[in-house]
Each structure stands twice: as structure tokens, then as C-alpha cells.
Structure 1
């Protein structure tokens, strides 16, 4: 009984924090606004924001490939995937990605592409270090109906893929006549191929991330009427035990400055989230720790293998900045 009271208190505290008005930053330096000094575990306020490449149409889905030491990212409208490698720059990786959005490595180090306009989730049927544009389909339908537009995903250690399915790949989005499903889902697809819908209630579900212990799933909702991040406590089999609002933003009439989108969790436990103006950093209880202003609307992010650099896909730009490595 005591455990239940503690869990309820934690959830209530997070909700109260998430709906509170932001305080003034305690430090403001360059692009960095610090609301809690714990952010300085990972942020170095003297580090500039660097532009690595530009001239793309709409960048998304960055993933770091440790075996090779490079970043992959999607340029959705051109249906291409590019590779960025330090000291070598950006080169074409896939000439036909099926209009991939999210890119993720499975537990066999295979590249999985969430193809937004092709409305499929596929695995690249070749080595990640020797790419060929032949794909093996993992999923395209829920209960016989075509998925909307697979967006972002993450695998847990058991090989379950958690992913979001907004309608962004459809020309008229929510009102597109080709939309077969009546909802925009958050799903899990386990290693045996069993598909479960975890949430049918969100409008424009987007970025997804798992806590380090894989007991909590975080999902961004890019709904301009209710932009927010949500938290799902998971059972051992990957089903949802509890859903709660994590952090709520005011409604926006113009989303040109950005909406909740990509999510990644640093080994420090700090949650990095792209959103209005750039990056937002939270702790696990929805306390806002910092904001990092970026020069262009930011979609998603990825860390390198050493977790000391963050890469951001930001509209037409690929951005980066260094992080602290001392995580004491």
C-alpha cells in the first residue's frame, strides 16, 4: 500500500510541475538558458552551436552507428538518407529511402527505416556498412488497415520496437482520403511480430524514447492545440501500466517556431527534447532544467557513441554541439 501511495505522489508531483509556469533562468549565456544547475552536468555554456551541413529540404531521424563511427539521417522530401562522418563530412548513403523519417538500429545492428510516405516499417536487407536499397518489410498494417505514416521508433533490449504513427506522410494529413485508421497510434511490435496499440488518443504522436531501465516510454505530441510530452509506465511485456501528462505547453497558433518532436535520453538520465525554439532538457519528474536555442526549427537529435556530442536535424541544417563527459 505504501508503494502505491509513493507512486501516486510521484505522478501527481510530475503533473503539477508539468503544468506550472516556467521560472526565469538562473543563468543565460549565449544560446543556453539554465533553469536548474543539474543541467551543467551535460551542458558546457562555452560550447558553440555548429552547422555541419545545410541545403537539405527537411531533415529527420538521426541515428548514430557505433560500428563505423558515423551518423545517418533522413531528408524526407528527397527520399534520401545521408551519412555524416567526422573529418569526412556528409555523403549520400541511400538514394531511395522510401521517404524514411525515423531511422533506428535493431539489436542485430540492422538499419530499420520508418517510411513515412511509403507507410511501412522496413529493415535494410544488407549490412549497415555496405548499404543497398533492398528492404524487408516488417509492418505496414494494423488489423488489416494501412498505417498512417510511421514516424519515430526505439527498440528495447528484448527486441520490441516502440513507434509512433501520425499522418504526416499523407498530403492532407488528418483529412487525407487515403487515411484508413481512425486514430494516430503509439504501438509496440515485439520480436515475435505481435503488434499492440498502446495509445489511440494522441493527436500527432511523434518522437519516442525509453528510460534507461526501459520501464518508462516517453512520447511527444506535436498537436498545436495541445503541444505536450507524455509518459507511459510499462509492464514487463511492454504493455502500458499507466499514462500521465509529462509536460504541457501552451497552444500555438503558428508552429513555425517548432513543436514537441524528437526525444532522446542521455546516460545522465536527462531527457533531451526538440521543441519550440530548440532543445528542452528535463529530469525524470518533468522539471525543466534548461533550454538551448537553435537557429532553425529542430526536429530530432542523436548522441554519438561517447555521449559527449549531440547532433540535431534542424529543417535544412545538420547542427551539433559538444556535451560534458563528467557524469558524476
Structure 2
């Protein structure tokens, strides 16, 4: 009898200790968020109890290995949440109706990369690529989740970056014999190359691209094709480029600050360009101490200046970047999307996708509130939060951009060609 009382007392003490640990590491979320799967971290978890070990580069905070049962319990609670608030202000970013949905899944044994998410408002679809296949893109309806394939003509290889403007998708290919930028009719899949060289030298592996409101395309050109896809040795320095779609002029904006430039985003007023440096994603550099940073540059629409580090990613590497209407930076990483205040580099919170790698993200423009689509290794996600994203080209100059981009490759699509291609068969498929 006394033994049972003693054991009960020990269990009560243990539960009390766990409660104390939780109180010191997890904050109180307002009652208005009772329907949201969210946790609030106390004091940014500046102090963790006892000893712990992080397993590898792509591990997140909640993957820490520890013999402390109370800490293990807390980390498990964090892992199960859809949203992790590192700062109280993140609750305002997501709102009281925040929701994370997995709308398409891929086989567990399929080691593929899903990239280049492009939202098409006319059809309410998200286009995205599987970089391991040649010749087609996925298209998934944002609301019904119905999927189909769009076959590209000619077949595009290793589509890795994408953006949408004026009825067309603009895609970057980072594999194959000729890498470059392509303008794609999203109805027919007809693709026209608009750039494939720098004064006779092959581009390395165009990775991501965006437009500014002066009709320039900004894109990154790291050596991923050389490292991963077996293309020839690089003929150019790794760089961020600016391509003038009116004149065809191409120039390097920076090729010294960044090791492996990847995702791009402009601030809403286009005064700053954000660039992801994903050097830690390369096999020879994928260790815990490798570079995985986001940089900011002042952007004058003709030059970059004043480079500064604004964020160091916790896990994996920074890949795709997008910006909210209020100027916050969304960073695709291993395990989710980090939400950053670029004015001070603070991590406000995380959209949490444990066990998955988010390669890129895209805002759904035109819907009420904020809807975001995430392209992951295991799933395509739909995230509904209070904060929406901005249209590429910034919050200014949209009409100017529309007129300018309409001049790109004017000879590419005659009326006859459009009529001929619009009846191409689109293969419907579901995973």
C-alpha cells in the first residue's frame, strides 16, 4: 500500500515537473486561436534544459535528441503543430482561422523534387514541375484539387523555376544540353526559348526567376546542373542576372557575394532584392556548418548594392522566396516555411511540415485573405492565413509591366499558332 502511494507521488511529481518545463518553454496562446494548431515558444527557446544533439542538416528544432523526458515531450508538442510562433506577432500573421492542408501526395519511395509553382488565375490552378521528368508539368486546381498534366512542346528538361504574367508561364530549366528561360502557353504547353546563353557561353543552370516592373527578368544561375544533372562544366561564374525583355540585353548583377544563389523575391516597393544562398544543398557542402543564408541587396532596377545577410536558416537550406503584402519574407526550407521580418532579420514563425522539404511557395493572388501553395517533396500544401502575398513586379507599376511583357517574343505566337495549339490534348491524371 505504501509502495503504491510512493509511486503515485513520484508520478505526480514528474507530471508537475513536465508542466513546469512546458510553462517555461511554451507560452500561452490566446483563446481565440483554439481552433488553430499553433504553439508559441517562450523567449525564443534561448535556453534548453540539460544536453541535446541535433541529428543532421535537415533536422528541425523538434528533432533534437535528448535524455530529458520533459524536453522530449515539449519537442513532440512543437512537432505536431501546424504553425510555430517564435514571436507573438506571428499570431497576427496567421490569424484565428489559419489552416494547413495536404492536397496532393507523392509516393514515399519517390525521391523527387517538386518545383516551379506558378499560380494561373484564369483556371485557378497551380502549375508545378517534377524535376526528374521531362516534357510535362502538373496542374492542380486550388479548390477542387483535381490534377492534370500539361505537356510542353518542345519537351522541357528539369524545370526548376517559374513565374506567371500576362497569360503565360515563364520557366527556368537547369538541365539538358541547353539551359535557359522559356515562355510557355499554359493552355497548349507550347514553349519558346527567350534566353539560352551569355554572349555565346552556355548558362550554368537557371534556377529561379522573377519580373520587376521595368520589364526585366531577374534570375539566378548556380551550377546545380553540373553537380546534379551531368551537364558540362560551367562556362560562367555563378551569378544573379538581369535580362531586359525589350532589348534582349543580359548582364550579371552579382557573382561574388553568394556561393549558390537560388530563390529570389523583391520587396513590395522593389527597393530591395532578396536572394537565397543554398550552398548547404550541395552534396560536398551538406554539413551542419555549411552556408544557408538569405541576403538582401538595394535594387535600383539597374544595379545591386549594399549586400547584407538578413537570415540564417535553421534546417536544410533556403530555396524559394516570396513576400507578403506587408513586406515579410517567406522562406521555403526543410520542414516548412520560415516567416522573417527582413527589416531586422528576426524569425517570427514557421509554417510547419515535419518530415518534408519545401522547395518553393506561391501566393494565390485574387482570393480573399491569404492563400499560399507550398511545393514539397512529399506533398503539395494549401495554407490559409490572414496575410496574403504580392504579385510579382511589386505593388507598383503593374500596368507598365503588363504592357512591357506583352512585347516579349511578339513573333512567338501568331493567331494561327494559338488556334492550332489550343486544342492540344491535355492528359488528366491523379496520383
> Which TM-score band applies after superposition, normalised by the shorter structure?
0.7 to 0.9
Residues 62 and 102 of structure 1 are in contact (CA less than 8 Å); yes or no, is this contact kept in structure 2? yes
1:221-277, CA deviations, whole angstroms, 9 ceiling, x for partnerless residues? 111221100001011x33113211111347xxxxxx631111000112211101242
Structure 2: distance between partners of 1:241 and 1:274: 24
1:184 to 209, 234, 238: 238
How far off its partner does 1:308 sit?
A: 1.6
SS of match in other structure, 2:144: coil
Q: Counterpart in 1 of 2:147?
A: 90
Asked if residue 200 in structure 1 is aligned to residue 259 in structure 2, the reply is no
Residues 100 and 114 of structure 1 are in contact (CA less than 8 Å); yes or no, is this contact kept in structure 2? yes
Structure 1: distance between partners of 2:337 and 2:132: 24
How far off its partner does 1:58 sit?
A: 1.5
Structure 1, unpaired ranges of 5+: 1-21, 251-256
**After superposition, where does 1:125-204 map in structure 2 within 5 Å?**
126=185, 128=186, 130-132=187-189, 134-172=190-228, 178-191=232-245, 192-201=247-256, 202-204=258-260
Structure 2: distance between partners of 1:116 and 1:45: 40
Residues 211 and 218 of structure 2 are in contact (CA less than 8 Å); yes or no, is this contact kept in structure 1? yes
Aligned in 2, Cα 1:274/1:45: closer, same or farther, shift over 3 Å? Answer: farther
SS of match in other structure, 1:170: helix
How far off its partner does 1:46 sit?
A: 6.1
1:153-210, CA deviations, whole angstroms, 9 ceiling, x for partnerless residues? 110112111111112223557xx67123342111111232111111112222111001
Q: Please tell me the root mean square deviation across aligned C-alpha atoms, in Å.
A: 2.5
Aligned in 2, Cα 1:94/1:238: closer, same or farther, shift over 3 Å? Answer: farther
Asked if residue 294 in structure 1 is aligned to residue 353 in structure 2, the reply is yes
Residues 371 and 388 of structure 2 are in contact (CA less than 8 Å); yes or no, is this contact kept in structure 1? no
**After superposition, where does 1:213-228 map in structure 2 within 5 Å?**
213-224=269-280, 225-228=290-293
Q: Counterpart in 2 of 1:246?
A: 310
Structure 2: distance between partners of 1:63 and 1:40: 27
How far off its partner does 1:91 sit?
A: 1.0
**After superposition, where does 1:36-51 map in structure 2 within 5 Å?**
36-44=87-95, 47-51=98-102
Asked if residue 320 in structure 1 is aligned to residue 369 in structure 2, the reply is no
Asked if residue 24 in structure 1 is aligned to residue 81 in structure 2, the reply is no
Aligned in 2, Cα 1:274/1:172: closer, same or farther, shift over 3 Å? Answer: closer
Residues 103 and 145 of structure 2 are in contact (CA less than 8 Å); yes or no, is this contact kept in structure 1? no
Q: Counterpart in 2 of 1:59?
A: 114
Greater RCO structure (CA 8 Å; 6+ sep): 1
Q: Counterpart in 1 of 2:316?
A: 258
SS of match in other structure, 1:169: helix
Residues 184 and 205 of structure 1 are in contact (CA less than 8 Å); yes or no, is this contact kept in structure 2? yes
1:100 to 140, 143, 159: 159
Q: Counterpart in 2 of 1:232?
A: 297
Q: Counterpart in 2 of 1:72?
A: 127
1:11-47, CA deviations, whole angstroms, 9 ceiling, x for partnerless residues? xxxxxxxxxxx9329x968132212233223314664
SS of match in other structure, 1:294: strand
**After superposition, where does 1:5-20 map in structure 2 within 5 Å?**
none
TM-score by length of 2: 0.63
SS of match in other structure, 2:89: helix
Aligned in 2, Cα 1:53/1:145: closer, same or farther, shift over 3 Å? Answer: same
Q: Counterpart in 2 of 1:114?
A: 172
How far off its partner does 1:78 sit?
A: 1.0
Higher normalized strand content (fraction of residues):
1
1:85-135, CA deviations, whole angstroms, 9 ceiling, x for partnerless residues? 1215211122533321111123x33211101113111112x3x3x223x32
Aligned in 2, Cα 1:258/1:209: closer, same or farther, shift over 3 Å? Answer: same
SS of match in other structure, 2:375: strand
TM-score by length of 1: 0.81
